[in-house]
Structure 1
């Protein structure tokens, strides 16, 4: 980036360039640039090309003083104006510089988007993006805290503790979705505030669709990284491998209770055996999908894994209570 001289030096340099042009009418930007660089006190520019571009612009403008800039003139920022901007933009859902500017103009203020931006910066307001969360009812929240308490009591929360067993948890869940929902502009899905602690939950959180069209990969995870991210199990390939001969290959293969039981006895056991030397130490926990709760699936899990987190202790998805476990339920009874 070239060095930016003060306004006085700018005018002096412009005057010098135009004076050289007047003395030597045949000179162009290239000759004037060469002359300036060979002078005793040449202006500082990172490259010769940047200086040449500056000289070329001066010759094209042929003016020493600054030209009037386009657009609305800068407004005078008053305390009343700053208060009006803060009231319209601070902790307001989907408030943006554009709609606040339109709102203040309707109220009789002579304002512009740049004025709103400066007033916002003077008030030290920052833009905080909304977090995508699932909308939970009060009963669902209570249920998840109860489950989190129960898991904390049975498996501990501190590494090295007497009850700590999370390093042996094998969690099989459906994850890694690629949604097919069209993307839309999320620029205004945020709120202006001085600190994220000042934002109320209903302004900070953005509800998301729990069920949406998507392409899904199956990826089993555990505390020790049982299935690495770089080598996920693509469920469709496994389902295709067990397709019966003569079956219509255009027909989509889905999980059933029997297929999930076979999946547990083959793929899950094989991967778990590679990571854990003794499957008796593994604590199995799966998702609450209806097919995973069928008797044939439960029998397969019981046949392979001695220890497991039962349905009573994982009535919700285990990932949903990680936050409660992390906070150790402070402030909740």
Structure 2
């Protein structure tokens, strides 16, 4: 029985659908907006968060009625609920600003449906799939400003001397900054963002930058490099440190990578469906590929969901699932430290 099979059979009833907007300033200098979907039925409520990045897409959704998707009804199984979404136009008034957002919104509804199905059947995810919720180790993902400096890392280390980080190197990083950061011995992942196109965080392949971080952080995982004739040779002998994030949307996408990976960053919303996510986790487990969870500035239950998935499937990875307070420009003093402990008496997708 596959992981998905263990939840696919759960029936659910959707009586009402509602949406709520969320927004917050972030440490990366932009106003984050998300939409929370709530599916209610039989006295229970399941929720999922649409992490689409473009505010225009959230604004367009806010202009339509909550029942526009026609999801109300009785479903014999969660698999049936998921299949019904194949025929739903999730962007009814306009196409999304970018195609990746179709998966993000699909995941919001899939996760809300799964949350509801688990609750209506008086169970939680870990129990349903026959696993435990373990304490979750996390890293803090942050950018270092313009011009870049180690100040934010140092501020967070003052809060927690054992804090570990996922950082986004840019061409402005110089040898002195790399040396300073490396001396703190706290950087677990370096996200080169070489696969992004048309975003505010694009980082073009940079031979000097790649060489600087590969050698400056000898133990760190290197995420999403852009391979060119010039940059690819830099990774000879370092393939085991390379991880992939942006391209990973399902099993087929893993098979299409330049070489069999040792690491994958699992961002549930990139997969769109619960089945694709679970199939990919299972595929990676069978091949001893190390996994860790990824965050997308979730503002509500989406953060809880990625922490839960990390807890159930890859708790010891360098999970980019730190509490949302770490994303604030001025983090509060009472931030939780790693590892995060799961709560008591879970239901649905509670962590």
Name the TM-score class by shorter chain: under 0.3
Larger radius of gyration: 1
Query: Normalized per residue, which structure has more helix?
Result: 1
For normalisation by structure 2, the TM-score amounts to: 0.26
Query: Normalized per residue, which structure has more strand?
Result: 2
Give the structure, 1 or 2, with the largest relative contact order (CA under 8 Å, sep 6 or more). 2
